[in-house]
Amino acid sequence: MGVHMKTALKSLSVLFLLVAFAMMPLYSQGSKETVAPKGEEKVTLTFVEVLTSPSRTKQLQDIIADYEKLHPNITINLISPPYEQADNKLTMMLNSNQELDIVEVRDHTIKQFVNNKKIIDLTPYLEKWDEYKDLLPLTVEAAKTVDNTPYLLPQFFYIKGLFVRTDVLAKYGITEMPKTLDEMYADAKNITGKVAGQYGYGFRGKGSPFKISDLLILANVPNISKDNIYRTDDGEFSFNTPEAKKSLTAYKDLFEKAAPSDSVNWGFNEQVNGFISGTTPFLVQDPDTVSMIGASLDASQYTVIPMPVGKSGKAYLDYGFAGLGIPTSSKHPDEAWDFISYVVSAGVNAKFCKEYGPLPVHASTYQTDPFFSSGVYKAWETEMSQPDTYVFVKYPLESAKYPAWAQTEEPSMQAFVLGQTQVDDLVGQWETYWK
Partner 1 sequence: MFVPTFVFLATFIYYPLCKGVVVAFQNYNMFDLTNVHFIGFKNFADVISDKNTSFWKVFLNTIEWTFFSLLLQFLLGFVLALTLRKPFRGRGIYTGLVFYTWALSGFAIGLIWSWLFNGQAGLVNDLLIRFHVIEKPIGFLSDPRYAMMSVIATNVWYGVPFFGIMLLAALQSVPNDLYEAAIIDGAGAARRLFSVTIPYIKPTIVSTLLLRTMWIVNFPDIIYAMTNGGPVNRTNILSTLMINKVFRQYDYGQGAAIGVIIMTLLGVYSVIYLQVAAKKDGT
Question: Of 271 and 341, which has the nearer Cβ to partner 1?
Answer: 271
Q: How many CA atoms lie within 13 A of 300 on its CB side?
A: 1
Burial-class residue 310 by CB neighbours within 10 Å (0-12, 13-18, 19+): buried
Question: Of 309 and 397, which has the nearer Cβ to partner 1?
Answer: 397
Query: In terms of Cα–Cα distance, which of 124, 119, 115 is closest to 100?
Result: 119
Can you tell me the distance from the alpha carbon of 15 to that of 5, in angstroms, rounded to the nearest whole number?
15
Minimum distance of partner 1 from residue 256's CB (angstroms): 13
Q: How many CA atoms lie within 13 A of 348 on its CB side?
A: 18
Can you tell me the distance from the alpha carbon of 172 to that of 336, in angstroms, rounded to the nearest whole number?
54
Distance from chain centroid for Cα 412: 23
Can you tell me the distance from the alpha carbon of 336 to that of 359, in angstroms, rounded to the nearest whole number?
23
Question: Of 129 and 402, which has the nearer Cβ to partner 1?
Answer: 402
- Indicate the residue type of 434: W
Minimum distance of partner 1 from residue 273's CB (angstroms): 10
By the 8 A CB rule, do 273 and 163 touch?
A: no
Question: Of 22 and 70, which has the nearer Cβ to partner 1?
Answer: 22
Minimum distance of partner 1 from residue 205's CB (angstroms): 7
Residues binding partner 1 (CB under 8 A): 7, 11, 14-15, 18, 22, 88, 91, 95, 111-112, 115-117, 197, 205-206, 260-265, 279, 400, 403-404, 406-408, 410-412, 414-415, 418, 420, 429, 432-433
Minimum distance of partner 1 from residue 118's CB (angstroms): 9
Q: Strand (E) positions, 306-346?
A: 315-318, 320-325
Can you tell me the distance from the alpha carbon of 412 to that of 418, in angstroms, rounded to the nearest whole number?
10
Minimum distance of partner 1 from residue 265's CB (angstroms): 4
Can you tell me the distance from the alpha carbon of 348 to that of 364, in angstroms, rounded to the nearest whole number?
13
Minimum distance of partner 1 from residue 278's CB (angstroms): 12
Can you tell me the distance from the alpha carbon of 403 to that of 109, in angstroms, rounded to the nearest whole number?
9
Question: Of 116 and 385, which has the nearer Cβ to partner 1?
Answer: 116
Minimum distance of partner 1 from residue 331's CB (angstroms): 22
Question: Of 373 and 408, which has the nearer Cβ to partner 1?
Answer: 408
Question: Of 301 and 414, which has the nearer Cβ to partner 1?
Answer: 414
